[in-house]
Amino acid sequence: MPAPHAPRTPWARTALLGVVLSAAVCLIVLAFSWPSVTLNPRDLPIAITGPAASVQAVETALEAQADGAFRLDEVADRDAAVEAIRTRADYGAIVLGTEPEVLTSSAAGTATNQLMTQLRTQLQAMAQQQAAAAAQAAGLGQAPTVTVALTDVVPLVAGDPRGAGLTAAALPLVFGGMIGGIGVALVVTGAWRRVVALLVYAIVAGAAIAGIMQGWFQVLGGDYLLNAAAVSLTLLAMGATIVGFAALFGRPGIAVGPVLFMLIGNPISGATFPKEFYPAPWGEVGQFLPPGAGATLLKDVAYFPDASPAFPILVLACWAVVGLALVIVGHFRDQAEVVPAGGHDLATAPDTAPA
């Protein structure tokens, strides 16, 4: 006898599925395209120092030309400007006076470095105009040529002069956190076994990824152990969250990884562009998610040892702790819901909670 045909999918459900899948594709396109379409510098912090009249003139010119792109922070002198850049309080600096200079930091990001280079060109044109006006007023001939120096205070490593390797590493970190969490959630059974598996994965993968990026590709500076610790904490934060939601909601909970970290967190992570480039408040929101906090922490420990890494460490630690706590909560909830055969107490049974 011929095998019976499987029941046909109702037409209404078929049409609804097409609409839902179309909406999902649009959401993915929106998530990855929206940041690049709306990117513009907004209140980018830049230090400035020099004579009061010169500072006021530059501030007025930038307000008229840059339309809110920069936020100028007045500092005492050049040393204070350098310190502000090294602690990541500012992305660059303008030093005015007899020897004008623009300070930049290529390690802070390609976009900000390009902006500071363009700003140097504008300042040189302004200074040349002022010199020409002063020479004309004094009855002199040709005005002397004014040169505005450009100094990279925190440069990238020689193996990654354009920062492409450091930027490209952000997406594999997100994939790494998701792969670890999904793999542990699907394969490992038992709450404490899952915790151990997550910790082992985060430590080993963090050491390996940092070794590849710093030792092989040479796109990271700084101390190897600190870089490995930053990568490990990032992987643990994302992996523990996925396993925690899977422990509470079963396999549907695994979807929190692609949705929260890939579709939402990665586009606004600030790995490619500073948070000031995103429309408010999304730049700040991205720093509270593991992809953004992980990218910031890795850049801090690799290039900015004078900057405080407390905030990204706290963000990642909170995600990791909450995720691991959810793993334990889901385990004990399952134990309380299952009625054992023969009246045995599950509290004393081996750790075999179902995935």
For residue 168, the model assigns a pLDDT of 81
Cβ distance 51 to 97 under 8 Å?
A: yes
For residue 5, the model assigns a pLDDT of 67
Residue 254 CA to residue 244 CA, distance in Å, equals: 9
* Nearest one of 55, 57, 105 to 77, comparing CA atoms: 55
Q: How is residue 181 written in tokens?
A: 């969490």
Residue 259 CA to residue 314 CA, distance in Å, equals: 22
Cβ distance 128 to 146 under 8 Å?
A: yes
Three-state SS letters, 237-249 = HHHHHHHHHHHHH
CA 248 remoteness from chain centre: 28
pTM: 0.87
> Is residue 285 exposed (0-12), middle (13-18) or buried (19+ Cβ within 10 Å)?
middle
Cβ distance 131 to 74 under 8 Å?
A: no
Residue 308 CA to residue 293 CA, distance in Å, equals: 13
Residue labelled with tokens 């029941």: 7
Q: How is residue 172 written in tokens?
A: 């594999």
Cβ distance 324 to 297 under 8 Å?
A: no
For residue 141, the model assigns a pLDDT of 66
- What are the angstrom distances between the C-alpha of 149 and each of 71, 82, 324? 21, 14, 51
User: Which DSSP string do the residues of 23-36 spell out, in sequence order?
Assistant: HHHHHHHHHHHHHH
For residue 108, the model assigns a pLDDT of 94
Instruction: Give every residue of the chain whose pLDDT is below 70, as ranges.
Output: 1-5, 31, 36, 141, 334, 336-355
Which residues are registered as beta bridge partners of 95? 49, 101
For residue 354, the model assigns a pLDDT of 45
For residue 14, the model assigns a pLDDT of 86
* Nearest one of 209, 246, 204 to 224, comparing CA atoms: 209
72-122 pLDDT per residue, tens: 999 999 999 999 999 999 999 999 988 899 999 999 999 999 999 999 999
Residue 305 CA to residue 308 CA, distance in Å, equals: 8
For residue 232, the model assigns a pLDDT of 98
